Amino acid sequence: MDARLNYFATPTAGKAVRSFMATGRAIKELPLPAETQELVALRVSQINGCAVCVDMHTKEAAAAGETSVRLNLVAVWREATVFTEAERAALEFAEQGTRVADAAGGVDDEVWAAAAKHYDEDQLTALVVLVSFMNAVNRLNVISRQPAGDYVVGQFG
Protein backbone atom coordinates (compact mmCIF):
# COMPACT_ATOMS: atom_id res chain seq x y z
CA MET A 1 0.00 0.00 0.00
CA ASP A 2 1.27 3.46 -0.86
CA ALA A 3 0.52 6.49 1.27
CA ARG A 4 -1.68 9.14 -0.31
CA LEU A 5 0.48 11.86 1.25
CA ASN A 6 4.11 12.05 2.29
CA TYR A 7 3.89 14.20 5.40
CA PHE A 8 7.58 15.10 5.17
CA ALA A 9 7.66 16.05 1.47
CA THR A 10 5.94 19.44 1.48
CA PRO A 11 6.37 22.49 3.69
CA THR A 12 2.70 22.55 4.68
CA ALA A 13 2.54 18.88 5.63
CA GLY A 14 5.94 18.99 7.29
CA LYS A 15 5.04 21.95 9.47
CA ALA A 16 1.78 20.38 10.58
CA VAL A 17 3.28 16.97 11.26
CA ARG A 18 6.25 18.42 13.17
CA SER A 19 3.74 20.19 15.42
CA PHE A 20 1.90 16.94 16.03
CA MET A 21 5.19 15.16 16.77
CA ALA A 22 6.17 17.87 19.27
CA THR A 23 2.79 17.49 20.96
CA GLY A 24 3.29 13.72 21.13
CA ARG A 25 6.68 14.17 22.83
CA ALA A 26 5.12 16.62 25.32
CA ILE A 27 2.33 14.17 26.14
CA LYS A 28 4.90 11.51 27.07
CA GLU A 29 6.08 13.90 29.81
CA LEU A 30 2.61 14.23 31.37
CA PRO A 31 2.06 12.48 34.73
CA LEU A 32 0.34 9.36 33.40
CA PRO A 33 2.38 6.13 33.71
CA ALA A 34 4.28 5.34 30.50
CA GLU A 35 2.85 1.80 30.42
CA THR A 36 -0.69 3.17 30.63
CA GLN A 37 0.05 5.70 27.89
CA GLU A 38 1.21 2.98 25.51
CA LEU A 39 -1.73 0.70 26.28
CA VAL A 40 -4.20 3.55 25.76
CA ALA A 41 -2.49 4.69 22.54
CA LEU A 42 -2.55 1.12 21.25
CA ARG A 43 -6.23 0.58 22.10
CA VAL A 44 -7.35 3.86 20.52
CA SER A 45 -5.35 2.99 17.39
CA GLN A 46 -6.86 -0.49 17.23
CA ILE A 47 -10.39 0.93 17.40
CA ASN A 48 -9.63 3.47 14.67
CA GLY A 49 -7.88 0.96 12.44
CA CYS A 50 -4.65 2.98 12.39
CA ALA A 51 -2.12 0.36 11.36
CA VAL A 52 0.91 2.65 11.53
CA CYS A 53 0.05 3.68 15.11
CA VAL A 54 -0.60 0.07 16.15
CA ASP A 55 2.82 -0.77 14.70
CA MET A 56 4.50 2.11 16.51
CA HIS A 57 2.88 1.69 19.92
CA THR A 58 3.29 -2.08 19.96
CA LYS A 59 7.00 -1.72 19.23
CA GLU A 60 7.51 1.16 21.67
CA ALA A 61 5.72 -0.71 24.45
CA ALA A 62 7.70 -3.90 23.81
CA ALA A 63 10.98 -1.96 23.81
CA ALA A 64 9.98 -0.46 27.17
CA GLY A 65 9.49 -3.95 28.60
CA GLU A 66 5.80 -4.61 28.01
CA THR A 67 5.07 -8.32 27.57
CA SER A 68 3.76 -9.80 24.36
CA VAL A 69 0.89 -11.39 26.32
CA ARG A 70 -0.39 -8.00 27.50
CA LEU A 71 0.12 -6.40 24.09
CA ASN A 72 -1.76 -9.22 22.38
CA LEU A 73 -4.63 -8.96 24.86
CA VAL A 74 -5.21 -5.19 24.66
CA ALA A 75 -7.89 -5.70 21.99
CA VAL A 76 -9.80 -7.99 24.36
CA TRP A 77 -8.84 -6.39 27.66
CA ARG A 78 -12.25 -6.96 29.27
CA GLU A 79 -11.77 -10.72 29.15
CA ALA A 80 -8.08 -10.62 30.08
CA THR A 81 -6.76 -10.97 33.62
CA VAL A 82 -3.37 -9.33 32.97
CA PHE A 83 -4.37 -5.68 33.41
CA THR A 84 -4.59 -3.75 36.68
CA GLU A 85 -7.83 -2.09 37.75
CA ALA A 86 -6.25 1.30 36.93
CA GLU A 87 -5.30 0.13 33.44
CA ARG A 88 -8.77 -1.31 32.89
CA ALA A 89 -10.31 2.04 33.89
CA ALA A 90 -7.98 3.85 31.47
CA LEU A 91 -8.79 1.44 28.64
CA GLU A 92 -12.55 1.85 29.16
CA PHE A 93 -12.05 5.62 29.28
CA ALA A 94 -10.06 5.44 26.03
CA GLU A 95 -12.75 3.38 24.31
CA GLN A 96 -15.59 5.72 25.27
CA GLY A 97 -13.48 8.76 24.43
CA THR A 98 -12.74 7.29 21.02
CA ARG A 99 -16.27 6.16 20.23
CA VAL A 100 -17.87 9.53 20.94
CA ALA A 101 -20.18 9.26 17.94
CA ASP A 102 -21.35 5.84 19.11
CA ALA A 103 -21.52 6.74 22.78
CA ALA A 104 -23.41 9.98 22.09
CA GLY A 105 -22.16 11.58 25.29
CA GLY A 106 -18.53 10.56 25.18
CA VAL A 107 -17.14 9.32 28.48
CA ASP A 108 -20.04 8.67 30.83
CA ASP A 109 -20.05 9.57 34.52
CA GLU A 110 -19.51 6.00 35.69
CA VAL A 111 -16.41 5.54 33.54
CA TRP A 112 -15.06 8.96 34.57
CA ALA A 113 -15.57 8.07 38.25
CA ALA A 114 -13.81 4.71 37.79
CA ALA A 115 -10.82 6.48 36.23
CA ALA A 116 -10.86 9.12 38.98
CA LYS A 117 -10.45 6.35 41.59
CA HIS A 118 -7.04 5.56 40.13
CA TYR A 119 -5.81 8.83 38.66
CA ASP A 120 -5.55 12.33 40.13
CA GLU A 121 -6.70 15.44 38.28
CA ASP A 122 -3.37 15.95 36.49
CA GLN A 123 -3.37 12.32 35.37
CA LEU A 124 -7.00 12.56 34.23
CA THR A 125 -6.06 15.64 32.23
CA ALA A 126 -3.21 13.66 30.68
CA LEU A 127 -5.62 10.84 29.83
CA VAL A 128 -8.06 13.23 28.14
CA VAL A 129 -5.24 14.87 26.17
CA LEU A 130 -3.74 11.51 25.17
CA VAL A 131 -7.04 10.04 23.96
CA SER A 132 -7.85 13.22 22.03
CA PHE A 133 -4.36 13.38 20.51
CA MET A 134 -4.35 9.73 19.46
CA ASN A 135 -7.71 10.11 17.78
CA ALA A 136 -6.40 13.08 15.78
CA VAL A 137 -3.17 11.31 14.78
CA ASN A 138 -5.07 8.15 13.86
CA ARG A 139 -7.26 10.16 11.53
CA LEU A 140 -4.25 11.81 9.88
CA ASN A 141 -2.81 8.38 9.17
CA VAL A 142 -6.00 6.54 8.21
CA ILE A 143 -7.21 9.27 5.84
CA SER A 144 -3.86 9.38 4.06
CA ARG A 145 -3.43 5.58 4.21
CA GLN A 146 -0.04 5.56 5.90
CA PRO A 147 1.41 2.04 5.66
CA ALA A 148 2.57 0.03 8.68
CA GLY A 149 5.44 -2.28 9.42
CA ASP A 150 8.51 -0.13 9.00
CA TYR A 151 8.46 1.79 12.28
CA VAL A 152 11.72 1.74 14.23
CA VAL A 153 11.62 2.28 18.01
CA GLY A 154 12.45 5.90 18.84
CA GLN A 155 12.04 7.00 15.24
CA PHE A 156 10.14 10.16 16.17
CA GLY A 157 12.23 11.07 19.19
pTM: 0.93
Average pLDDT over residues 62-81: 97
Distance CA 65, CA 125 (A): 25
Confidence of residue 7 (pLDDT cuts 50, 70, 90): confident
Q: What is the CATH number of domain 11-143?
A: 1.20.1290.10
Contact of 131 with 42, CB cutoff 8 Å: no
Q: Which residues of 18-41 are buried (b: 16+ CB within 10 A; e: fewer)?
A: eeeeeebeebeeeebeebbbbbbb
Confidence of residue 144 (pLDDT cuts 50, 70, 90): very high
Domain ranges of the chain: 11-143
Length in residues, the chain: 157
